[in-house]
């Protein structure tokens, strides 16, 4: 499991190291260690991209703080390895003096932004514009310089964080660096897990930082192997009931497919039994004859967990069904149309005495929250969960997207499947089916509902990867049906990870 920390915690952990270095008369010792890590990973990128290091050209984008200092010291190291290094100073009046001297001493070229820079396109850019102290989008002249280099296809190595990405919220501002590699120091920052697609491959350099624990603002990323180990496996004494029965209320005349995708995903996720309530029994049974269908919520037999919502409608009947399901007092996944019902009738959640898992996409989340705080996704999520919990609703929320977040009011989990192939119609129905099955099974090594939600998101992402890669090569677009069919291979891969 990876942990990513808020800036305040990082700064507090670094302080003793920096003070010790200063007391020993070498105030830049930590910075030079960090910089040699940046140089090491930049050299590795150059080798991968160009087959070597010697003679390659490196451009440093140097801001006014210590992030720029790291870039300058790393340039000095790369100069020592035979690179041509040019530093572009974004604010020549405010630059880390000793680091600049080190670069000059090593034979690096220095220019102010917009004046007489080397005209050839560099092999790599080191982004030392701004790091932990950054806020807001890249400012000029950094924004225009970055846009031109990115447009020319030059790879970026970000020092600490891609500039233009907020360290704590992970907000990616319009003007920002998209990094191929991000080299950070001692421990991950929250943005590394909240904005992982913008950070590229994240490398953590050891600077002698003591191990950091968790606190409420720490973001966690699950280890796929851990999810695989926790996946429910029937034992010798198990039967179809002991593994947890999940009931699915999904589908409508307008959306028959949602019923098939959701119920079939529940069947694929664990052994045991799946019940179905809705208008789609014929279609569900055509694909999955093992599903047990019931004419209404009231007539459904016992289930250890429920899923309600995919394609299930938003009328008064749908709201009444949600109410009836919650009144059964079992853990329940509320997805899709059920979330629209909750947004319109928040009072319906009052019937929830057992844990509920809400699984909105961005639009549904806006509907639930009135569209507040679009820029600080994880903060808005934490506040929404806290609101629900303050109202006595035992809620966990899974916010979908390329980076899926799960928050139970105490912990934020982040899942990034590494590609966006899962962004396809109906794939959310598959996710809620998997989550419901895991909830019914009582999977719970990391919390009552958060862990099944996290495990479902991991398996969903892995299924997308398997499905998109089924043809080999670079991968191909998938539909939700492909993702569904890939679930068994994905679960098997996780269990073998
Ligand atoms: N604190 C530590 O212990 C260590 C820090 N290190 C480096 O130091 C960095 C933090 O340095 P600083 O605290 O000096 O701060 P930064 O270098 O992150 O930023 C400070 C400067 O950036 C400017 N700035 C802020 N937002 C901007 C934007 N959007 N566009 C352009 N400029 C902007 C500010 O005006 C300020 O002058 C870390 O990210 C890391 O790279 C490393 O040397 C390792 C050790
Ligand atoms: N850009 C993306 N990259 C990867 N996965 C994504 C992306 N956008 C959405 N997803 C995932 O795809 C699924 C889509 O769910 P949802 O929006 O509810 O679709 P639907 O309602 O069509 O089923 C979710 O699991 C979500 O996390
Ligand atoms: K940076």
- pLDDT of 213 reads 87
Indicate if ligand 1 lies below 6 Å from the C-beta of 27.
Answer: no
Indicate if ligand 1 lies below 6 Å from the C-beta of 159.
Answer: yes
Q: Which CATH superfamily is domain 2-221 in?
A: YjeF N-terminal domain (3.40.50.10260)
What are the b/e assignments for 466-485, b being 16+ CB within 10 Å? bbbbeeeeeeeebebbbbbb
| Domains in the chain: boundaries | 2-221, 224-496
| Cβ proximity of 365 and 374 under 8 Å | no
Ligand nearest to the CA of 464: 2
Whole-model pTM: value is: 0.95
Kindly indicate whether the domain formed by 224-496 is annotated with CATH number 3.40.1190.20.
yes
Beta bridge partners of 294: 277
Q: How far is the CA of 422 from the centre of ligand 2 (A)?
A: 6
- pLDDT of 440 reads 95
Pocket test for ligand 1, best of 88, 99, 134, 158 (most atoms within 8 A of CB): 134
**Interval 151-171: pLDDT, tens:** 999 999 999 999 999 999 999
Secondary structure class of 438 (helix, strand, coil): helix
Indicate if ligand 2 lies below 6 Å from the C-beta of 400.
Answer: yes
- pLDDT of 117 reads 59
**Interval 45-69: pLDDT, tens:** 999 999 999 999 999 999 999 999 9
Decide: residue 246, CB within 10 A, 0-12 exposed, 13-18 middle, 19+ buried.
Answer: buried
**Interval 256-299: pLDDT, tens:** 999 999 999 999 999 899 999 999 999 999 999 999 999 999 99
Decide: residue 385, CB within 10 A, 0-12 exposed, 13-18 middle, 19+ buried.
Answer: buried
**CA pair distance 446, 444, nearest whole angstrom:** 5
| Cβ proximity of 460 and 427 under 8 Å | yes
Which ligand 2 atom is nearest residue 425's CA?
Answer: 22
- pLDDT of 168 reads 97
- pLDDT of 446 reads 47
Q: Which of 23-32, 112-121, 480-489 has the lowest mean pLDDT?
A: 112-121
Q: How does the average pLDDT of the chain come out, rounded?
A: 95
Pocket test for ligand 2, best of 250, 254, 313, 422 (most atoms within 8 A of CB): 422
Average pLDDT over residues 234-252: 94
**Interval 424-458: pLDDT, tens:** 999 999 999 999 999 999 886 445 789 999 999 99
Pocket test for ligand 1, best of 62, 65, 146 (most atoms within 8 A of CB): 65
**Interval 95-128: pLDDT, tens:** 999 999 999 999 999 998 877 555 679 999 999 9
Residues, beta carbon < 5 Å, ion ligand 3: 127, 131, 158-159, 163
Q: Which residue has the tokens 């796929």?
A: 224
Indicate if ligand 1 lies below 6 Å from the C-beta of 420.
Answer: no
Q: Quick one: pLDDT band at residue 335, thresholds 50, 70, 90?
A: very high
């Amino acid at each position: 499991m990876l942990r990513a920390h808020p800036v305040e915690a990082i700064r507090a952990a670094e302080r003793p190291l920096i003070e010790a270095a200063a007391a020993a008369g070498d105030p830049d010792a930590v910075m030079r260690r960090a910089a040699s890590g940046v140089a090491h990973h930049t050299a590795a990128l150059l080798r991968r991209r160009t087959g070597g290091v010697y003679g390659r050209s490196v451009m440093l984008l140097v801001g006014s703080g210590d992030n720029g200092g790291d870039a300058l010291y790393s340039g000095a190291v790369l100069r020592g390895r035979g690179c041509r290094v040019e530093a572009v100073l974004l604010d020549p009046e405010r630059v880390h003096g000793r680091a600049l001297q080190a670069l000059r001493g090593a034979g690096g070229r220095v220019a102010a932004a917009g004046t007489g820079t080397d005209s050839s396109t560099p092999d790599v850019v080191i982004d030392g514009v701004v790091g932990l102290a950054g806020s807001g989008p890249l400012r000029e002249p950094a924004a225009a310089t970055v846009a031109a280099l990115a447009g020319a296809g030059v790879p970026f190595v970000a020092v600490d964080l891609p500039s233009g990405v907020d360290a704590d919220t992970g907000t990616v501002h319009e003007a920002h660096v998209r990094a191929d590699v991000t080299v950070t120091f001692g421990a991950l920052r929250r943005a590394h897990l909240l904005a992982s697609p913008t950070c590229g491959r994240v490398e953590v350099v050891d600077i002698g930082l003591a191990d950091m624990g968790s606190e409420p603002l720490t973001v966690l990323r699950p280890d796929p192997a851990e999810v695989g180990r926790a996946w429910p496996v029937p034992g010798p004494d198990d039967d179809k009931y002991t593994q947890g029965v999940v009931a699915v209320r999904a589908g409508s005349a307008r959306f028959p497919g949602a019923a098939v995708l959701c119920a079939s995903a529940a069947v694929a996720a664990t052994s045991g039994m799946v019940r179905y309530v809705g208008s789609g029994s014929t279609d569900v049974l055509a694909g999955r004859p093992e599903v047990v269908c019931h004419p209404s919520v009231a007539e459904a037999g016992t289930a250890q967990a429920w899923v309600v919502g995919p394609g299930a409608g938003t009328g008064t009947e749908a709201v009444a069904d949600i109410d009836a399901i919650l009144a059964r007092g079992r853990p329940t996944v509320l997805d899709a149309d059920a979330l629209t019902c909750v947004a319109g009738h928040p009072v319906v959640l009052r019937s929830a005495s057992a844990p509920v898992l809400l699984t909105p996409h961005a639009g549904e989340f806006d509907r639930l929250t009135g569209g507040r705080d679009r820029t600080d996704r994880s903060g808005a999520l934490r506040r929404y969960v806290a609101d629900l919990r303050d109202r006595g609703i035992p809620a966990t929320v899974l916010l979908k997207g390329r980076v899926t977040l799960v928050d139970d009011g105490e912990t934020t989990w982040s899942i990034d499947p590494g590609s966006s192939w899962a962004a396809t119609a109906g794939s959310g129905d598959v996710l809620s089916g998997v989550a419901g099955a895991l909830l019914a099974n009582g999977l719970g090594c990391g919390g009552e509902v958060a862990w099944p939600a996290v495990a479902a998101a991991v398996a969903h992402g892995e299924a997308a990867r398997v499905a998109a890669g089924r043809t080999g090569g670079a991968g191909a677009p998938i539909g939700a049906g492909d993702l569904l069919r890939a679930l068994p291979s994905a679960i098997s891969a996780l269990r073998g990870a």
